[in-house]
Structure 1
Amino acid sequence: MPEEVPDPYDDGMRVRREVLGDAHVDRAQARTTPFTEDFQALITRYAWGSVWTRPGLDRRMRSVAVLTALLARGHWDEFAMHVRAALRNGLSADEIGEVILQSAVYCGVPAANHGFAIAQRVLDEAGNGE
């Protein structure tokens, strides 16, 4: 008889709340409809429960990777959300700036320029802007 694989949903929800904050996750859950509930379950299980829980990278490194990927693809709403998450994961404002500066070389100056503007707004809102 095959061994039952544990469902990563609960671990995913725990990590999602730790990284994004209860308020964000509660808002996302409240907006869930029958049309979107399978997608919400997918990202909780897969992204948060199967990938973010892996031991190979700490959360700071995962935040660096996510910020770079979101900037490269121009996913600006998610970029702002993950700047907040990066702060929760222990990155400083200076480190977030370095990630964006590094990304300018590989993702393009216009993308980095927009990323800096979004990050500045998020940092100001969080009281970390300079």
Structure 2
Amino acid sequence: MDSKAYERGMEMLRKMVGPDVMEGTVERVAKFSPDMARLVVEFPFGSLYSRPGLDLKQRSLLTISSLVTQGAVDQMDFHIHAALNAGLTPNEIVEAVMHCLPYAGFPKSLGALGVVIRIFEERGVTVEV
């Protein structure tokens, strides 16, 4: 295990979603597969998100668009919370999902928008119309 990448990853996750969400998620995965939990923390968050060159808002936009194009709605809620915490506005998040329409298609974009709506409702977030 690259302990420095793991520690950077844990710190980045705390910054992105807060300690309660992050630690609960990592612990849940670690109980089932410690190696998977380590890799999930080390690689994307300790090695990629921690790099210079892009800020968290930019990385969040890239992540949202990637998840939409894959139809990976199971991962969307975590990253929508993180995007809001990184400072993306609700309108920027909706625009990112909408921008994926011609590239990912309506079913994937609408599936992602459903997650966005749910997270916004849970957090009491409104979109300027």
How high is the TM-score relative to the length of structure 2? 0.90
SS of corresponding position for 2:100: helix
Q: Counterpart of 1:25 in structure 2: which amino acid?
A: M
CA distance in 1, matches of 2:122, 2:62: 23
In the alignment, the residues of structure 1 paired with residue 36 and residue 104 of structure 2 have an alpha-carbon distance, to the nearest angstrom, of 28
Indicate whether 1:126 and 2:126 are aligned.
no
> Do structure 1's residue 41 and structure 2's residue 43 form an aligned pair?
no
1:9 Cα offset (Å)? 1.2
Offset at 1:50? Answer: 0.6
RMSD of aligned C-alpha atoms?
Answer: 1.5
Name the count of aligned residue pairs.
125
| Alpha-carbon distance in structure 2 between the residues aligned to 1:116 and 1:62 | 19
1:107 alignment partner AA: A
Matched, 1:108 2:87: no
Question: What is the CA-CA distance between 1:6 and the residue it aligns to?
Answer: 7.1
What's the counterpart of residue 23 of structure 1? 20
Equivalents in 2 of 1:7, 1:85: separation in Å?
A: 22
Structure with more of its chain in helix, by fraction: 2
Match of 2:82 in 1: 85
Runs of 4+ in 1 over 6 A off after TM superposition: none
- Pair 25,6 (structure 1): closer, same or farther in 2 beyond 3 Å: closer
Identity of aligned residues (%): 29
Structure with bigger gyration radius: 1
**Long gaps (5+) in structure 1:** none
Q: 1:119 is paired with a residue of what secondary structure? A: helix
1:70 equivalent in alignment to 2:74: no
Contiguous gaps of at least 5 residues in structure 2: none
**69-78 vs 54-63, greater mean Cα deviation:** 69-78
Whole-angstrom distance in 2 between the partners of 1:72 and 1:19: 22
Residue matched to 1:117: 114
